[in-house]
């Protein structure tokens, strides 16, 4: 069974640009979570999508947004990039009723903003 | 809000046991997890424990949970060089709303 996949693996952007990151969950998983792992800040919850709807978002500004498609894949969009957006962006998938409600993570997209 | 604390570094000799500790504040935590992150990689789920358990063993890994003190530990027996990584403790309160709350991670350093 294929795991969670993310693309691209690495990205370099400049301040003010916009970026789109993609995530494909494990087959059968309907929930996708996005996390930001910035240096010195640990992993922080960004967004939660379930069954195509945004269910909750963490303490991030509105320029962080996303969506979930009918096939449960997801995109994370970041507008007006700032230097402090440089981080590893991790996507995780799970499904309601999954034992232990375990989240399985993808390899991440490393974003560098110059 | 909820908080999860871990020490930043742990150094052990190859072959010894490693014990990584974690404390959390959310008394409604239902599941607690240990994830491993190798350099440049995503997070790999190592093991988890439900809050009504106090111990779980899985091969070289032993998880101990003291719910009264809100203390979680991960013991790795016979530590090998391949165990060198960052280990994250995470808690989940159910309902999905806020995702997992992670500690900042413990860097496990293996000395030959």
pLDDT, average across residues B8-16: 96
Flag whether pLDDT at B94 surpasses 70: no
Closest CA to A6 of A40, A33, A38, A45: A33
pLDDT, average across residues A65-82: 97
Strand partners, B61: B58, B76
Flag whether pLDDT at A31 surpasses 80: yes
Flag whether pLDDT at A98 surpasses 70: no
When scoring B22, B42, B98 by the number of chain A Cβ atoms within 10 A, the one with the most, hence best to mutate, is: B42
Q: How does residue B65 score in pLDDT terms, banded at 50, 70 and 90?
A: very high
Strand-strand pairing, A109-113 and A10-13: parallel
pLDDT the model gives residue B97 = 64
Chain A contact for B62 (CB, 8 A cutoff): no
Query: Which range (A59-68, A93-102, B1-10, B52-61) has the least confidence?
Result: A93-102
When scoring A64, A93, A98, A105 by the number of chain B Cβ atoms within 10 A, the one with the most, hence best to mutate, is: A105
pLDDT the model gives residue A2 = 80
Contacts of A56 in chain B (CB under 8 A): 96-99
Q: B45 and A102 in contact by Cβ < 8 A? A: yes
Q: A42 and B102 in contact by Cβ < 8 A? A: yes
């Amino acid at each position: 069974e294929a795991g969670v996949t993310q693309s691209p693996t690495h990205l370099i952007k400049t301040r003010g640009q916009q970026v789109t990151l993609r995530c494909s969950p494990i087959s059968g998983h309907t929930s996708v979570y996005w996390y930001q792992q910035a240096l010195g800040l640990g992993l922080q919850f960004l967004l939660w999508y379930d069954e195509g709807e945004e269910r909750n978002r963490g303490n991030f500004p509105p320029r962080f947004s996303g969506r979930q498609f009918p096939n449960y894949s997801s995109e994370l969009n970041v507008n007006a990039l700032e230097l402090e957006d440089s981080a590893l962006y991790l996507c995780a998938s799970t499904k309601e009723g999954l034992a232990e409600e375990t989240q399985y993570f993808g390899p991440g997209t490393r974003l560098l903003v110059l | 809000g909820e908080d999860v604390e871990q020490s930043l570094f742990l150094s052990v000799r190859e072959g010894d046991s490693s014990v990584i500790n974690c404390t959390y504040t959310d008394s409604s935590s239902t599941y607690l997890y240990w994830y491993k992150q190798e350099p440049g990689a995503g997070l790999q789920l190592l093991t988890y424990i439900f809050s009504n358990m106090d111990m779980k063993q899985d091969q070289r890994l032993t998880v101990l949970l003291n719910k009264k003190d809100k203390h979680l530990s991960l013991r790795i027996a016979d530590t090998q060089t391949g165990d060198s990584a960052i280990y994250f403790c995470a808690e989940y309160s159910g309902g999905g709303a806020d995702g997992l709350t992670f500690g900042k991670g413990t860097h496990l350093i293996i000395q030959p």
